[in-house]
Structure 1
Amino acid sequence: MNVQKSVTGTSEDIVYLDHAATSWPKPPAVLEAVHYALAHESANPGRGSHRMAVQASRTLLKARQQLARLLDVRNPVDIAFTANTTVALNMAIFGYVRAGDHVVATMTEHNSVWRPLEALKRSMGVEVTYVPVNAKGQLELHEVEQAFTARTRLLICNHSSNLLGSILPVAELAQLAHRHGARILLDIAQSAGHIPVKLQEWEIDMAAFPGHKGLLGPQGTGGLYIAPDLDLTPWLYGGTGSQSEEANQPSVRPDRYEPGTPNTPGIAGLAAGVQYVLQQGIEAIAAHEQQLVIRLINGLSDINGLRILGPAAGEPRTGIVSFVMEQQDPAQIAFILDRQYGIAVRAGMHCTPLAHRIAGTLATGAVRTSVGYGTTEQHIDHLLEAVQFIQRTANV
């Protein structure tokens, strides 16, 4: 199956290779859905019985149903909408971990995991063990198992590193956690919409995702899947439109975890983005991005003085390829790529200092390229030509 390349943007000259941060441009259907929701569905879902409120509620339900289909979730109400992955991860961590608990995480985690865990260490005496990975971002299951103690309550891991692109064996990690009586929280920020995600099949307890990356929705959207047998302590309280006479947050899902007026236009756009992914087929999208990644890694490997981070070409990874060049500042490289070649990439720490420590780039940072559904072979070749030129001129 061919992945459709029809995209709509405002800057046709930009070669956009920063999809790991936010996908761009969005499919036209996403823009149309946001506009339609603003024009015709700008009422509070779940709060009123008039037709606009009812239609807004239907929009949210449709989005939940689409997400449940894509992410392998049996009941759509087990998906709570949030503003982004960061909010979802905080909701899960602070809603589940208790004083004196032990948490296991990996050295590839984002700051949205690392900082909440470090805050819990300071404020509640929570103990945290970060399991090391190798330079490619791969870990050994026996090392994860050795990290568990009698007080381990939660295992947290990202499905794919946002620096290295490596993919962790999350199904096996879920089994390991459950054998030790713990739960697993999965960060699917870099995998949702890029590679198959099967939360039900893998027996994942919680999964945090963004709407604005591989799911092709607007910024300010995301969510948290919560297994039906798991109850989180709400970290946000307020109006839900249900059980309003009670002082406590309602027990019914998803209201329990969604107080306040939701981002209905954004969620409408998210539903359109997920529908686009479903229409294209996640396997086709994954194959398309893998082909581009192999082309990119092979081309970068021919450039002297350049080191590629993460798995080798052909090994399991998502569409993220980061690199460093000898005697070159990653920020300067990204600036030249943008201003001279019209190529958008990301340089710096990528909010994951633990992974940079593993990669040996904590002092310098790295240049991160990331492909998406609209990336073409021509985009990759343009980047390779630009990086080759930067390398040649730097050594003159």
Structure 2
Amino acid sequence: MDGRMFPIKRLYQLTQKYRALLIVDGAQAVGHIPVDFHDWQPDAYFFPGHKWCAGPMGTGALILGNQHTECDERKEPRQPSWADYELGTQNIGLIAGFAKACLNKQEDGMKTARLEQIREKVRQELSKSSQFRIIEWDGPHSPGILSLTSQRKETNAPLQSKSHDIVWKTFQLPNKQEQTGIRLSWSSDTSEAEIESLLTFLQNQNRKNREYDLKRANKEGHPK
């Protein structure tokens, strides 16, 4: 959710030790960072098609481990194993669009270096602001996501800037339920103009808050 990359291989080892199931939500991974099932075999792995794969809404994939798809050859022939998970008539158009989006992503690549470059640029700009605090942790981070918290209560509500075509929503921090975070994300298709618009927006927010603090301090008779 906030951009941290979990040690899936270590979690796989723990599930093997305690005979537990490993079910992974890969919504922020597939199409964003490399995903390899050779080192760890999840019991189930699922992800939507409209996020980092840039496919149509309403699509996605559920990948089952071999232990859940093996069939007894002695049994009578029946439908393929995936048919057990089919809920109704398939939308072939959406599925074809999802498949094409995945193919485009595979051919185009994830361009991790560009995502990291954008992240560092945004991080440097945010570090200049006293209003925002970047959420950091020990361990790897997702190249296309940067999360932060705001020092101001008014920013902790859903906020929209029509002048910059920017919308963000807050989320509850996993280990600090009383505090909210803001997640920024971008893809390899995000243009330089869009990044500059984001940086300009953050700069303006910081400037307005400094001016507000200065006016309030002067009004209270405590100029800074």
Question: What is the TM-score normalised by the length of structure 2?
Answer: 0.81
CA distance in 2, matches of 1:317, 1:213: 14
Q: Which has the higher strand share?
A: 2
CA distance in 1, matches of 2:62, 2:158: 36
Correspondence for 1:342:
165
Q: Is the 8 A contact 1:322 1:368 kept in 2?
A: yes
CA distance in 1, matches of 2:20, 2:157: 44
Correspondence for 1:180:
18
Query: How do residues 9-28 of structure 1 correspond to structure 2 at under 5 angstroms?
Result: none
| Shift in Å, 1:172 | 1.9
Correspondence for 2:125:
299
Deviations 1:4-42 (A, max 9, x none): xxxxxxxxxxxxxxxxxxxxxxxxxxxxxxxxxxxxxxx
Using a 3 Å threshold, how does the CA distance of structure 1 residues 192 and 178 change in structure 2: closer, same or farther?
same
Unaligned runs of 5+ in 2: 70-75, 212-224
Correspondence for 1:324:
149
Query: How do residues 192-207 of structure 1 correspond to structure 2 at under 5 angstroms?
Result: 192-207=30-45
Picking from 241, 253, 257, the partner of 2:85 is: 257
Question: What is the TM-score normalised by the length of structure 1?
Answer: 0.48
Q: Is the 8 A contact 2:150 2:156 kept in 1?
A: no
Structure 2 residue identity aligned to 1:322: S
Secondary structure at the residue paired with 1:168?
coil
Using a 3 Å threshold, how does the CA distance of structure 1 residues 168 and 364 change in structure 2: closer, same or farther?
closer
Query: How do residues 145-156 of structure 1 correspond to structure 2 at under 5 angstroms?
Result: none
Deviations 1:342-395 (A, max 9, x none): 223x2122xxx4xx142x3x3453332111121134422321221111121123
Picking from 261, 267, 274, the partner of 2:102 is: 274
Count of aligned positions: 205
CA distance in 2, matches of 1:300, 1:315: 19
Correspondence for 1:288:
114
| Shift in Å, 1:201 | 3.2
Using a 3 Å threshold, how does the CA distance of structure 1 residues 369 and 202 change in structure 2: closer, same or farther?
same
CA distance in 2, matches of 1:189, 1:386: 28
CA distance in 1, matches of 2:140, 2:112: 13
CA distance in 1, matches of 2:115, 2:106: 16
Structure 1 residue identity aligned to 2:127: S
Using a 3 Å threshold, how does the CA distance of structure 1 residues 170 and 357 change in structure 2: closer, same or farther?
closer
Deviations 1:142-164 (A, max 9, x none): xxxxxxxxxxxxxxxxxxxx2x2
Q: Tell me which of the two structures has the higher relative contact order, counting C-alpha pairs closer than 8 angstroms and 6 or more residues apart.
A: 1
| Shift in Å, 1:261 | 0.5
| Shift in Å, 1:286 | 2.1
Deviations 1:108-156 (A, max 9, x none): xxxxxxxxxxxxxxxxxxxxxxxxxxxxxxxxxxxxxxxxxxxxxxxxx
| Shift in Å, 1:189 | 0.4
CA distance in 1, matches of 2:117, 2:12: 29
Unaligned runs of 5+ in 1: 1-161, 232-242, 244-249
Percent of aligned positions that are identical: 28
| Shift in Å, 1:169 | 1.1
